[in-house]
């Protein structure tokens, strides 16, 4: 039995931000199962000018505006800030993001691994190993640990549930008030300040918007406990990196695990590399996998070809 969702011819302009021919070939093969009459072209090729669909991550500014036949723009990830930073972005057609449960689980695994690593003195023991020091540290009762998740949307809410299932006390902060079982939910500026002062671990999973840009700055870190640990799997733009480094080196907070940065790849001479209390990851916490995300992308394309509104459409005015 065919898995085809549409027999209609469709041209897809693709760019993954890494110029990876291997990943492009995988996406084309996966999508062809559902859209057999597709033509797959690079977003940067002249042949993309009359494309029906843009499937992209970090396209060059102004490029999408030149594709006059576009019917939908699909982000190759849950974030769409890489699109909205383009002042010429077409906003008169649907813009969609991926909401993949597998990405939520992957992000949960990463957050939990960072949390447990710090809780069980991973950074300290690695430093001791380098210095050949045999010294144990007292085990901490995790039941008294307060974990704050900033951003409890599609990914953050699932991460919060995963962390709570391990017995941690979990709070969540969002733009608008939410209700999630076993999670203490906050919203607004007062709620943000309450989370900053009360939590032991601070996990940023927010979308990057004008409201959240630079949210974690010197004043935010100063409001945290001096034992606090910061984990960022959201976007580098959420954090004033110089303020974070100062907060750690001054003892204001105990350290950080960072998967995202203001500049990526992180420059080789960036001082964040050399701070032993910071664990650095190369934007790998939750990656888009074609075999788990392809069906929803194919459905979105088929819906647009049929004149329907696609799922997971974002609001331009809100930025996500």
Sheet with strand 184-187: strands edge to edge: 184-187, 169-174, 146-150, 201-204, 229-232, 255-258, 278-280
Just list the catalytic residues.
235, 283
The closest of 186, 191, 253 to 217, measured between CA atoms, is 253
Radius of gyration (C-alpha) of the chain in whole angstroms: 21
Cβ neighbours of residue 118 under 8 Å, at least 6 residues apart?
Answer: 201, 229, 254, 255, 257
Q: Look at residues 131, 66, 82, 83 and name the one whose alpha carbon lies nearest to residue 260.
A: 82
DSSP string, 235-254: -GGGB-HHHHHHHHHTTSS-
Residue 57 phi/psi, 5° resolution?
-140, 120
Query: Tokens at residue 75, please?
Result: 């982000």
* Token pair recorded at residue 20: 């990876």
């Amino acid at each position: 039995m065919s898995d085809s969702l549409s027999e209609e011819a469709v041209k897809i302009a693709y760019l993954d931000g890494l110029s990876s021919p291997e990943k492009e070939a995988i996406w084309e093969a996966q999508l062809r199962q559902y859209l057999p009459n597709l033509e797959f072209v690079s977003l940067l090729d002249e042949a993309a000018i009359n494309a029906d669909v843009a499937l992209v991550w970090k396209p060059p500014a102004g490029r999408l505006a030149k594709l006059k036949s576009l019917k939908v723009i699909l982000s190759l990830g849950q974030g769409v800030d890489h699109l909205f930073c383009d002042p010429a972005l077409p906003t008169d057609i649907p813009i969609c993001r991926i909401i993949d449960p597998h990405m939520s689980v992957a992000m949960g695994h990463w957050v939990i691994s960072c949390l447990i690593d710090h809780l069980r003195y991973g950074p300290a023991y690695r430093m001791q190993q380098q210095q050949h020091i045999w010294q144990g540290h007292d085990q901490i009762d995790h039941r008294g640990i307060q974990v704050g998740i900033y951003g409890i949307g599609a990914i953050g809410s699932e991460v919060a549930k995963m962390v709570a299932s391990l017995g941690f006390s979990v709070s969540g902060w969002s733009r608008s008030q939410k209700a999630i079982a076993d999670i203490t939910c906050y919203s607004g500026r007062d709620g943000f300040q309450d989370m900053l002062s009360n939590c032991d671990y601070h996990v940023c999973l927010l979308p990057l918007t004008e409201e959240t840009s630079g949210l974690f700055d010197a004043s935010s870190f100063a409001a945290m406990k001096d034992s606090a640990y910061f984990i960022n799997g959201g976007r580098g733009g959420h954090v004033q990196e110089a303020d974070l480094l100062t907060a750690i080196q001054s003892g204001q907070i105990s350290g950080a695990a960072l998967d995202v940065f203001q500049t990526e790849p992180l420059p080789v001479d960036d001082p964040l590399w050399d701070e032993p209390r910071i664990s650095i990851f190369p934007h790998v916490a939750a990656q888009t996998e074609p075999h788990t995300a392809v069906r929803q992308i194919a459905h979105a394309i088929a819906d647009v070809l049929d004149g329907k509104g696609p799922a997971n459409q974002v609001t331009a005015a809100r930025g996500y």
